[in-house]
């Protein structure tokens, strides 16, 4: 083989090997810093959370870079420093929080950065290598479990609150039942205390006892032949009286009908009598007024007692004179002298 051809093949093989090496470096991300320009993001935290150099960095689930190094630093609260290289065209908010998401197939964890909702006033970290986040790296799986537990526990807490309210209600109901079932004294009831359920039940028992006694008396009464016979006779008499009352009512009904039929004629007959009676009453009123207020004999007799007394005295004297005359006549007759009247 000629030397020129051999040198050409050796050079071609070397070029192919170099291209293959570059491809492998690109495949493993060793040349990303040269291909994709990135800026440094420093995360000060208290634990590495399984992160390793070369671990992927994701923003809300989207790959944006790689972990460059994990260092230990002298800091009381954040002794671990994570250096991450972030793509130059990606901006991270100052309120972003770091999380560690473990791979299901094992290996290093993934650094997750959660920014949440972006508003107009949201500020972002600089791209000059001075960007830093100081916060504990929390495990995303634990946070998800915690979030799910919070969601589940919210319902449990609501159920517990409902149970607490229900328990309070049942406690109140129990107290009310205790008050309803408390024994009451006669003095308390006489003092105006309202009777409760227990007192009402006691009174109900008393009423039932009285009713039972009444039923016993009714059974005794129904079992007495003489009493049943008397009751039967009383019922028969009552029926007879009702029949008589019905007949009487019918007669009164007929009488009312007859009176109703003759009412117009009776009114026509009574109207002239009523007019004459009114005239007579007017004459009596006039005569009475004349007798009491006039100057005649009747008025003087009614209003002057002296005249009555004089007439009374004259009547007495006249009676005495008549007696004397009668005695004189009897004496004359006794002596035999005839007297012709």
Instruction: Tell me the pLDDT of the chain (341 aa) as tens digits.
Output: 577 878 888 888 889 998 888 888 777 766 666 667 889 999 999 988 888 888 889 998 899 888 989 999 988 899 999 999 998 888 999 889 898 887 655 566 889 898 877 888 888 999 888 999 999 888 766 666 767 777 777 788 888 888 888 888 888 887 777 777 777 777 777 777 777 777 777 888 788 888 888 887 777 766 667 766 776 777 787 778 777 777 777 776 776 666 555 656 655 666 676 677 677 777 767 766 665 665 555 555 556 666 556 666 767 777 777 777 677 677 666 766 555 54
Burial of 277 (0-12, 13-18, 19+ CB in 10 A): exposed
B/e letters for 24-52, b = 16+ CB within 10 Å, e = fewer, are eeeeeeeebeeeeebbbbbbbbeebbbbe
**Contact between 137 and 45 (Cβ < 8 Å):** yes
Q: State both tokens at 161.
A: 């609150």
Neighbour count for residue 87 (Cβ, 10 Å) = 19
Q: State both tokens at 308.
A: 């009555």
Q: What is the pLDDT of residue 142?
A: 66
Domain regions of the chain by residue span? 1-35, 39-136, 304-334
Q: Find where tokens 């009464």 sit.
A: 221
């Amino acid at each position: 083989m000629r030397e020129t051809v051999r040198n050409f093949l050796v050079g071609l093989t070397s070029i192919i090997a170099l291209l293959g090496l570059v491809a492998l470096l690109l495949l493993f991300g060793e040349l990303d810093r040269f291909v994709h320009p990135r800026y440094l993001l420093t995360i000060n935290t208290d634990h590495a959370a399984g992160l390793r150099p070369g671990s992927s960095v994701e923003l809300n689930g989207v790959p944006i870079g790689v972990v460059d190094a994990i260092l230990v630093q002298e800091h009381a609260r954040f002794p671990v420093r994570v250096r991450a290289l972030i793509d130059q065209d990606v901006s991270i908010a100052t309120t972003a929080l770091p999380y560690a998401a473990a791979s299901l197939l094992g290996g290093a964890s993934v650094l997750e950065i959660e920014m949440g909702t972006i508003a107009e006033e949201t500020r972002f970290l600089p791209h000059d290598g001075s960007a830093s986040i100081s916060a504990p790296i929390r495990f995303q799986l634990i946070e998800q479990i915690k979030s799910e537990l919070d969601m589940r526990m919210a319902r449990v807490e609501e159920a517990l609150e409902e149970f607490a309210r229900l328990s309070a209600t049942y406690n109140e109901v129990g107290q009310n039942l205790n008050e309803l079932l408390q024994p009451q004294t006669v003095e308390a009831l006489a003092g105006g205390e309202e009777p409760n359920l227990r007192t009402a039940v006691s009174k109900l028992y008393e009423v039932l006892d009285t009713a039972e006694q009444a039923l016993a008396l009714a059974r005794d009464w129904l079992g007495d032949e003489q009493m049943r016979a008397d009751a039967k006779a009383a019922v028969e008499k009552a029926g007879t009286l009702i029949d008589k009352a019905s007949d009487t009512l019918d007669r009164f009904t007929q009488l009312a009908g007859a009176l109703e039929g003759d009412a117009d004629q009776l009114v026509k007959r009574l109207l002239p009598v009523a007019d004459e009676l009114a005239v007579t009453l007017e004459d009596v009123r006039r005569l009475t007024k004349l007798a009491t207020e006039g100057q005649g004999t009747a008025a003087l007799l009614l209003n002057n007692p002296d005249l009555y007394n004089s007439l009374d005295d004259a009547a007495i004297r006249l009676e005495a004179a008549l007696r004397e005359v009668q005695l004189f006549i009897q004496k004359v007759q006794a002596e035999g002298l005839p007297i012709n009247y």
